[in-house]
Amino acid sequence: PTESLDIAMASFSGLDTPAGLKSLNEHLATRSYISGFAPSTADTQVLAELVGVPDYKQYPHAARWFAHIFSFGCEKKSRWPAGKVTVKKSAGGAPAADDDDDIDFFAEDDEDEETKMENEMERKVQIALRANAARQAAKPSAKTSILLDVKPWDDETDMAALEAGVRQFEMDGLVWGSSKLVAVGYGIKKLQILCVVEDDKVCLDDIEDHITSLVDYCQSMDVAAMSK
- Among 76, 84, 82, 78, which Cα is nearest to 4's? 82
Give the whole-angstrom CA distance, residue 129 versus residue 63: 10
pLDDT given at position 78: 83
pLDDT given at position 98: 45
pLDDT given at position 165: 96
- Among 92, 104, 106, which Cα is nearest to 51's? 92
> What percent of the chain is predicted at pLDDT more than 70?
75
Query: Is 50 exceeded by the pLDDT of residue 186?
Result: yes
Three-state SS sequence of the chain: CCCCCCCCCEEEECCCCHHHHHHHHHHHCCCCCCCCCCCCHHHHHHHHHCCCCCCCCCCHHHHHHHHHHHCCCHHHHHCCCCCCEEEECCCCCCCCCCCCCCCCCCHHHHHHHHHHHHHHHHHHHHHHHHHHHHHHHHCCCCEEEEEEEEEECCCCCCHHHHHHHHHCCCCCCEEEEEEEEEEEECCEEEEEEEEEEECCCCCHHHHHHHHHCCCCCEEEEEEEEEEC
CB 6 within 8 A of CB 46: no
Confidence of residue 71 (pLDDT cuts 50, 70, 90): confident
Question: What is the rounded end-to-end Cα distance, in angstroms, of the chain?
Answer: 46
Fill in the amino acid letter for 175.
V
The model's pLDDT over 96-143, given as tens digits with 9 standing for 90+, comes to 444 444 445 444 555 566 666 666 666 766 766 676 666 666 666 788
pLDDT given at position 100: 46
Confidence of residue 223 (pLDDT cuts 50, 70, 90): very high
